[in-house]
């Protein structure tokens, strides 16, 4: 997934006019309200696992040096936690949108799906979560979701063979009758999502069989495990 995401992000940097960019910063910024007018930047749910709803919020600003910054805040009864939100290969929504609070692991604390960029049809997000006394990014790469009829992306929770997340992509082949794609699976190790290369699947299916994969059939990220969904 890393190669296609990086290539598309580079194309988006050219296609979009940045809110700000300088020779000292490689990050192109766009206001979330321009690209996702109904996005949420505040959600409530149990992120620390104590059974009480916490407040999750995203923030961003442009500095006097012409740089944009974004960060995530979780307010719990036990304390307030903050972390920087990483851009997607040089592009960033300010502030990032919160797609939802997700159940990567049933009966455990909720994790946070943070949208860092959106293109004409494809969105890109990272997963953040509280681990111990630290709020941090759990995903090694940004995951794409939605897309067009010809180029589909999706991400969802899964359970089996040690995997907790699946990130998939598919495109229509030259004859226009099949989707050809890949499904990558991630497990949780040492509190982070790690790619399980032994579980990677490659597929070629008829166009009407895309519903076989829930993450590609849905335009929303994490269709099966979002406990609290944000607007988009």
Q: What are the tens digits of pLDDT across the range 40-64?
A: 999 999 999 999 999 999 999 977 7
Regarding predicted confidence, which is higher, 203 or 31?
203
At 3-25, the pLDDT tens digits run: 445 444 444 443 443 443 333 34
Instruction: Tell me the C-alpha distance between 179 and 114, whole Å.
Output: 28
pLDDT, residue 1, reads 46
Domain ranges of the chain: 2-229
Whole-angstrom Cα distance, residue 199 to residue 136?
26
Cβ neighbours for 198, distance < 8 A, ≥ 6 positions apart? none
Distance CA 69, CA 28 (A): 11
Nearest CA-CA partner of 104 in 163, 47, 164: 164
Q: How far apart are CA 35 and CA 50, in angstroms?
A: 35
Q: Which two tokens stand for residue 7?
A: 């290539």
Q: How far apart are CA 115 and CA 143, in angstroms?
A: 9
Write down the residue that tokens 């630290």 correspond to: 134
Q: Does residue 13 have a cis peptide bond before it, meaning omega lies within 30 degrees of 0?
A: no
- Distance, in Å, from the CA atom of 214 to the CA atom of 14, rounded to the nearest integer, reads 32
pLDDT of residue 17: 38
Q: Which residue has 């990050």 as its token pair? A: 27
pTM: 0.88
* 8 Å CB contact between 146 and 123: yes
């Amino acid at each position: 997934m890393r190669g296609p995401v990086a290539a598309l992000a580079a194309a988006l940097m050219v296609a979009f006019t940045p809110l700000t960019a300088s020779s000292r910063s490689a990050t192109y910024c766009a206001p979330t309200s321009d690209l996702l007018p109904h996005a949420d930047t505040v959600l409530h749910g149990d992120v620390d696992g104590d059974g009480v709803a916490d407040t999750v919020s995203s923030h961003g600003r442009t500095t006097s040096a012409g740089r944009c910054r974004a960060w995530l805040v979780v307010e719990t009864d036990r304390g307030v936690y903050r972390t920087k939100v990483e851009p997607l290969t040089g592009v960033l929504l300010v502030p990032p949108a919160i797609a939802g609070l997700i159940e990567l692991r049933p009966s455990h604390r909720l994790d946070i799906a943070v949208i860092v960029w959106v293109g004409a049809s494809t969105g890109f997000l990272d997963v953040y979560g509280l681990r111990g006394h630290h709020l941090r990014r759990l995903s090694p790469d940004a995951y794409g979701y939605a897309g067009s009829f010809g180029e589909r992306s999706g991400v969802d929770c899964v359970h089996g063979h040690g995997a907790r997340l699946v990130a998939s992509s598919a495109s229509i082949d030259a004859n226009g009758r099949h989707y050809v794609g890949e499904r990558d699976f991630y497990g949780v190790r040492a509190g982070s999502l790690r790619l399980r290369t032994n579980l990677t699947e490659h597929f070629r299916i008829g166009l009407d069989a895309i519903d076989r994969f829930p993450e590609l059939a849905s335009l929303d990220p994490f269709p099966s495990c979002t406990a609290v969904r944000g607007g988009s």
